[in-house]
Structures are given as C-alpha cells and as structure tokens.
Structure 1
Amino acid sequence: MSSPENETPRGVQSGFCKEDQARKCTVQPVVIGGMVLDVNATSSMHANPRTTTPGKVIFSLGGVARNVADCISKLEARPFMISAVGFDMAGEFSL
C-alpha cells in the first residue's frame, strides 16, 4: 500500500521502485539535454600545405544527456530522451 506522501491526486503511487521490485517496475526515466555528433579526424602522416593528406574520420554519438540515456538503457530501463536535433547529416546520423 502506498504512503500518503507518495500519492498523486489520482491515487497512483509516484517515486522510485523498491529494490526488490526493480525488474517489474514500469517507471520510464526522462532525460532532457544535449545530443551531439563527435567527429574525430586523424592523419596517418604529417600534413603538408596545399596537398591532400590520408587519414581517417570516426563519428561517434555524444552529449551528456545522450550518454546518460545510453547508461540508463544498459541498466534494462527504457529512457525517453528529449533533445534538439538539426535537419542535417549530424541529426540524421544521431537518430
């Protein structure tokens, strides 16, 4: 039975799940914040002016809120993330 301090106006219990009920809990965490595309470009040789230089580019997802949502999902929860995303290549990659 829920205690009065944890009741909402509709009588539904709010708050965190008890430790023994964590796997059956239906709470969905909401994460609000930044999601970015990290770009890491490295060269395999010294760069010379006015020439092309071989190398590689690695794209990875980042941003504090995205990283927190990723960690929450690894704990078998289903986070709901709210973030601004641009209509560009980085936004398409992020979604």
Structure 2
Amino acid sequence: MENNKKFYFYVVLCADNSFYGGYTTNIEHRISVHNAGKGAKYTKTRRPVKLIYFEEFSTKSDALKAEYSFKHQTRKQKEKYLTNHAVLSKWLS
C-alpha cells in the first residue's frame, strides 16, 4: 500500500545544457546522488546538474509514465513542455 508516500518525476539541467528526466521518492537525495556521480550513467559525465522542474504524483505508476513520456520527446518538445510549465526561461538564455 502506497499510503502517503509521494512519487516524483523531475528534470535536471546538466552542465552541457542537456535535460535529464527521472523518477524518485526523495528529490533532494536524488539530486545529491546525481551530483556525486552515482545517479545515472547519463548525468555522471554531465555534472553538476540543477533541478529545474518536478511534479508530484500519488502513485509510482503515474510518475514513471511522466518520466517515460518526457524521455521519449525531442529536445524541442522538452523545451516546449518546460516552457509551458514556466521553468525553462530562467535556466536557458
């Protein structure tokens, strides 16, 4: 039973200006793990990363669906998604 546990889809901006989307139950911990070089193969060589967006979900399944959807978008689609959620403009010039 999932009770009050929260599930998150998040997006970080990598040092090379690429995006990485992921899933977690603890955002602060996950970002620190990414920045320690242990979070994901993709972010390991693109540090430091900055959290630029997250969404909270009540189920793991919904958070994983959001992650999957984001990861299968083009760069342009990801930018549009982030712009529509009012986070992109403050991170990219």
Task: Normalising by structure 2, report the TM-score.
Answer: 0.22
Greater helix percent: which structure?
Answer: 2
